[in-house]
Structure 1
């Protein structure tokens, strides 16, 4: 299981200098406005530097066609980047039984060969969506690296024993906060949450806080990975699980394990 530390990635190299990243982030915030001498304007020479570094590797040239491996590599680059506040932030897309979509930003707690995991209350809109339509799409976007990854697949709720174990690893303050909230419900004021916090802290011993029954961990099992990055030209490659007896044409290639990949027009 991968949460914050990763092994070496064979297709990964440092992407940008700290000077470039600082100037890039300043440029995004201030756009075309003048900047003081301590924050020089993001210039075309900076952009050229970015392209020169990035073109060392392309998605097409990647030596290993394993989507999880590539994701690990990109995630590690994002974790090492001074311009990415938290690489685990993702946008989770779900849909109701009648096809009404909804989006929200969340944290991806961990990922490995089994899938991508996150936690939430099963009483929320996303929890209800996943109950009636257990399929989701995740999107990671790391702006300073000009990279995005979309992951798509069926969703399952982890067994209670696993959710209990994961909940027990939470810090005490987080466990208290989870008990205090009935996420997405209306309240009179935020003082209500403060009152609940006092009740929860008095009720439970810090070493024996039980997991609320409506708070669960979910796992997305990928059947599609869609990688996008901006270089001299946009690049996009899509991996998908092969189907039984699927015929491979000239535009579909065999990747690692049971993955197929295709180059997609951006």
Structure 2
């Protein structure tokens, strides 16, 4: 495994650069999966409402490929409502043990119902029941109200499979900007940024001053 002081690679321009950001992300992610003690897939996701006021929270990265970065949530949650108003987001994964981070931003799309169904089915049964019981981001009068809702949904689905609620979906951030940051001595950090005008466009890339 590279040491935390390892610099970023030199990436040639041309066709080789098209897959470079996702290949580099995958390499870093695999190393973080070994080095990070807790949740190497934890990432901060920032959205904004119709007035442009930003909002950020931690979520879990559940799928990644050349199309982008996927997380799942309730469409009626704060981030779900904000994405309905402004379908753009930015995110960051910070791996302190490796002294690395990756930032990205771009438009957001919902994943297909088939993708959402497949991931929902892989969750623990109690988590699936929780998705039915929780009115995510809504005011909760008392903890017992949630506990009663969980008990009611548990009874409703007793002996049955727990299907995905229609309001529980996946969102894919399609990066038009992707930046890799690596810690270096004396705060002379190493940064390389990839950018494109659309999620289907060609990448441009270059190094940034720390």
TM-score range with shorter-chain normalisation?
0.7 to 0.9
Tell me the equivalent position of 2:189.
234
CA RMSD after TM alignment: 2.0
CA distance 1:229–1:168, change in 2 (3 Å):
same
Q: Is the 8 A contact 1:84 1:142 kept in 2?
A: no
- The answer to whether 1:61 aligns with 2:10 is yes
Match of residue 139, structure 2, among 144, 163, 186: 186
Tell me the equivalent position of 1:98.
51
Tell me the equivalent position of 1:254.
none
Count of aligned positions? 201
Match of residue 71, structure 1, among 25, 35, 38: 25
Taking structure 1 as the reference length, the TM-score comes to 0.70
- The answer to whether 1:265 aligns with 2:190 is no
CA distance 1:226–1:115, change in 2 (3 Å):
same
Q: Which has the higher strand share?
A: 2
Larger Rg over CA atoms: 1
SS at match of 1:219: strand
- Give CA deviations for 1:40-83 in whole Å, capped at 9, x if unaligned: xxxxxxxxxx54xx2xxx224368641011111111111111x4
Q: 2:108 & 2:150 partners in 1: Cα distance?
A: 32
Tell me the equivalent position of 1:154.
107
Taking structure 2 as the reference length, the TM-score comes to 0.88
- The answer to whether 1:130 aligns with 2:74 is no
Q: Where in structure 1 are there 5+ consecutive unaligned residues?
A: 1-12, 16-49, 244-256
Q: 2:88 & 2:26 partners in 1: Cα distance?
A: 23
> 1 or 2 for the larger relative contact order (CA 8 Å, sep ≥6)?
2
- The answer to whether 1:145 aligns with 2:89 is no
- Give CA deviations for 1:108-130 in whole Å, capped at 9, x if unaligned: 11101121111111111111111
Kindly state the Cα deviation for residue 242 of structure 1 after the two structures are TM-superposed.
5.8
Q: Where in structure 2 are there 5+ consecutive unaligned residues?
A: none
